[in-house]
Amino acid sequence: MGKNATIEGLRKFRKKLLRERDPWHDASRRFRIRRFAGPECFLEHLEGLRVAHLTDLHVGRVTPMAVQYDAVAMTNAGNPDVVVISGDFVCHSQVYLDDLTDVISKIDAPVFASLGNHDHWAGAEPVRKALLKGGAEVLDNAHTVVEIGHQRLQILGLDDAYTGHADRGRALKGLREDLPVIGLSHIGEEADALWEAGVPLVFSGHTHAGQITVARLHELSVGKLAGHKYVHGLYGSRGVGDPEGAVYVGAGVGAAVVPLRLGERAKREVAFFELGEQPGAFDEHHGEQPAHPGRKPSLKTKERRAQAVRRKAQKRERRDGNGSGRGAGLDS
């Protein structure tokens, strides 16, 4: 073995040791599998259709690839009919898009995706391409019908509301009233208006369940400080005839900045929803929770968030000359 190879080996070993001793680096592959029934209104349409929900993969430097492949293995082991992923596929750059494609391509069931704020920050078009290449269908303010045997389910995807890309009118256009529908929206609070438009179950992410849920800290950080009504888990109602609907906010798989996850509710998560099953027919992780008061972002905040996407795109343009940013700059 050459001198350089020995030093490189030692460096890797040291990095591994430091990572294992660093309580802030959670390379843990501990996941929680959570299982719920769908809304009652699906009982007349569906005999039993299993949806797996993943969110916030954040394929990149912060989350070990072993974690991504564990998520895929657990998803496939649950034998879902459909897999839905509600955004934040990357962190800050386009460096890991081939890895993202590989992860998505290893999911056995049909995959439907909507984008999140990090996807827009990193460059939405290349992220879309990576997802398509992996075999996913990306629903940008659009809907589609999936056929599983003789059962049909509409899936609607709202583009990211955080960065101002959600267009509900466009997403809902042409939606059929005679077929059951589920929605995808990175931001959970968008569910309120989707319920009113006849989408009784929405899958979301973005919050990572607060990542630190000991002493209910996530309710303070994500609920009170960040102003989210829906922090983690199931909210709303799945009852028939109820004017509301339900939203499920997943804890996510990865992280973009701080990798730490502390507390039971903060664990990495794959959730399974049994559509066509009566709520209460089997043990669920928890029932519908009361929403937090929440706080809508001001116009100024919305404009600042939209500007951030433009600024990052301009920065890529300046750096690469073609706006792709592939393989350059930030590596997370």
Gap between the Cα atoms of 260 and 27, Å rounded:
9
Question: Given the rule CB under 5 A, which of 41-49, 69-77, 83-91, 171-179 is the region that contacts Fe ion?
Answer: 83-91
Contacts of residue 53, defined as CB under 8 A and 6 or more positions apart, other chains included, come to 83, 84, 85, 86, 203, 248, 250, 270, 271, 272, 273
Please say whether the dihedral angle defined by the alpha carbons of residues 302, 307, 313 and 315, taken in this order, is positive or negative. negative
Nearer residue to Fe ion within complex by CB, 56 or 274 = 56
Q: Which of left, alpha, beta for 251 (phi over 0: left; psi -120 to 50: alpha)? A: alpha
Does residue number 119 form part of the binding site for Fe ion (CB under 5 A)? no
Q: How far is the CB of 254 from Fe ion (least distance, A)?
A: 8
Nearer residue to Fe ion within complex by CB, 88 or 189 = 88
CB 57 within 8 A of CB 89: yes
Cα separations in angstroms, 241 against 41, 42, 46, 90, 180: 8, 12, 17, 39, 15
Q: How far is the CB of 250 from Fe ion (least distance, A)?
A: 10
Q: How far is the CB of 224 from Fe ion (least distance, A)?
A: 19
Nearer residue to Fe ion within complex by CB, 70 or 320 = 70
- Measured in degrees and rounded to the nearest 5, phi and psi for residue 8 equal -65, -40
**Both structure tokens of 105:** 């391509």
Residue number of the CB closest to Fe ion reads 88
Nearer residue to Fe ion within complex by CB, 111 or 222 = 222
Beta partners for residue 51, in sequence order: 82, 273
Gap between the Cα atoms of 311 and 188, Å rounded:
25
Question: Given the rule CB under 5 A, which of 44-52, 59-67, 72-80, 85-93 is the region that contacts Fe ion?
Answer: 85-93
- 93: nearest Cα among 256, 330, 300: 330
Q: How far is the CB of 176 from Fe ion (least distance, A)?
A: 31
List binders of Fe ion among 49-68 (CB under 5 A): 56
Nearer residue to Fe ion within complex by CB, 88 or 159 = 88
Does residue number 40 form part of the binding site for Fe ion (CB under 5 A)? no
Contacts with Fe ion by CB under 5 A: the residue count is 2
Q: How far is the CB of 252 from Fe ion (least distance, A)?
A: 6
Gap between the Cα atoms of 222 and 220, Å rounded:
6
Question: Given the rule CB under 5 A, which of 6-14, 32-40, 81-89, 238-246 is the region that contacts Fe ion?
Answer: 81-89
Choose which of 26, 40, 81, 88 interacts with Fe ion (CB under 5 A).
88
Nearer residue to Fe ion within complex by CB, 89 or 112 = 89
Kindly list the residues in this chain that would bind Fe ion in the complex (CB under 5 A): 56, 88
